[in-house]
Amino acid sequence: MRSPAEKAGLQPNDRWLEIEDQPISFQYQLKQILGQFDAGDEIRMRIERDDQELELSATLAQTIPPLDLQSIGIYVRGDAETLRIVGIQPDSPAAVGGLELGDQLITLQELPIVSRRALRQQIALADPEEKLRWKVRRGDREIDLETTVVSIAGNLRALPDDDQMFPTIPAGQWQTAQLALPDVANQIRYYAPETDGDAPLAGLLVVLLDPGDTELEKALESWRSAAEKFSVAVAVIASADEKRWTPAEADVVSRAAAQLANRLQLDRSDCGLTGQSAAASFAMALVVAITETEAFSGIAVVTELRPPAVRLKENDVDLPLQFALPVTEDDDLPSWAGVLPRLGYPIIRTGQRDPQTLLRWVRTLSRL
């Protein structure tokens, strides 16, 4: 909660009624009224939320710090009424704060938890200088706990020590299958367990092949062992033209990811994207991640990438995206990556980009 609006308690879908007794009906009026005040001024606001009128106040700021997405290091499963912790990152704020496996999350900041997506956003936007207040159900008791938060950005985090979160899926249940999309020339293969298996998958990584590579079975071969180890499905997609990827194919990749996620019972927060080896495949992956925002929550690229001519907007708090780069220090980041933190995109330093490292990274995408 770093912006004046967030500190004042404004929420998505609030409707402005007045600022300092001046009515607001259009967005331009909001800008005109705020232009009358200086940084440090406190303003009174009247808003409508869920058919109720509320009065709030906010202190204006000169600038707004870049978005810095936060985490407490937990993995959860279930719906709003049965949202339980199934994994805790070692040495995370959750572990230090006393949260335990099996805890059912009831409230955060004294407000009911309505969904995993809403919980993710509330944690991601938390103020690093303030503690989060939790109420959890542990057995037949309700317990109040507090945790700090930590930035998502930084070195690739360790996975939970236990295997309760995603039990190992027997190798015999894994298979290679084809995905066919109507009126699409791109070949698509994926390696995943049979869809009627009981054990849940941890995620999905989509790999865009280098232009001209049509040996999809061979491309999948290098991923199979790591896929089974980390319970992450892998899909490979070939370009329609043997010489290049085209911007129009971004929609194809997005549709393929959506169908696979639905088939494998995953959602956006479980899905990552990367290229194969040539710069063209990574450039296309970046185009997809930027333009098809509802498909992926993470993209892994190489430092040698020359970013395509696609405008990079500020990271969307509703559909956040993170970047994984094979470096160990920020000093090793390429010059083009300097803009990412300023636009609110966390950079995960993976050190390497071999299959095991990348699928371990995909496992962390769903961490809250």
Give backbone dihedrals phi and psi of 354, rounded to 5 degrees, phi first: -75, 165
- Per-residue pLDDT reduced to its tens digit, 98-148: 999 999 999 998 888 888 888 998 999 888 888 999 999 999 999 999 999
Write the CATH number of the domain with boundaries 4-59.
2.30.42.10
Q: What is the pTM of this model?
A: 0.85
Q: Taking all residues of the chain, what is their mean pLDDT, rounded to a whole number? A: 89
Stated length of the chain: 368
Pairwise CA distance, residues 209 & 94, whole Å:
38
CA distance 180 to 184: 8
Residue 95's Cβ-side half-sphere holds a number of Cα atoms within 13 Å equal to 13
Q: Report the CATH number of the 70-151 domain.
A: 2.30.42.10
Residue 14, classified by CB atoms within 10 Å of its CB into exposed (0-12), middle (13-18) or buried (19+), is middle
Give per-residue pLDDT as tens, 262-315: 999 999 999 999 999 989 999 999 999 999 999 999 999 999 988 777 788 888
Would you state the CATH architecture of domain 171-364? 3-Layer(aba) Sandwich (3.40)
Return the pLDDT at 78.
Answer: 84
- Parallel, antiparallel, or unpaired: how do β-strands 298-300 and 322-325 relate? parallel
The predicted pLDDT at position 168 comes to 76
Assess contact for 313 and 323: CB atoms under 8 A: no
10-residue stretch averages of pLDDT, the chain, 368 residues long: 71 82 81 80 85 84 80 88 89 95 92 87 89 94 96 93 69 90 94 74 95 95 95 96 94 96 92 94 94 94 85 87 95 91 94 96 95
- Report the amino acid identity of residue 198: D
Rounded distance between C-alpha atoms, residue 110 and residue 334, angstroms: 43
pLDDT score recorded for residue 172: 81
* Inter-residue contact 252 to 184 (CB < 8 Å): yes
Nearest one of 115, 111, 117 to 49, comparing CA atoms: 111
Considering all CA atoms of the chain, what is the largest pairwise distance in Å, rounded to the nearest integer? 68
How far is CA 341 from its chain centroid?
A: 15
- Asked if 140 and 69 touch (Cβ cutoff 8 Å), the reply is no
Domain boundaries, the chain: 4-59, 70-151, 171-364
User: CA nearest 96: which of 150, 158, 138?
Assistant: 150
The answer to whether domain 4-59 and domain 70-151 are alike in fold is: yes
Contacts 24+ apart (CB under 8 A), 352-358: 352/326, 353/274, 353/300, 353/302, 353/324, 353/326, 355/222, 355/223, 355/225, 355/226, 355/227, 356/226, 356/229, 356/230, 357/156, 357/326, 358/205, 358/226, 358/272, 358/274, 358/300, 358/324
Q: Give the pLDDT of residue 1.
A: 46
**pLDDT in the model for residue 2:** 59
DSSP state of 254: H
Predicted confidence at residue 162, as pLDDT, reads 61
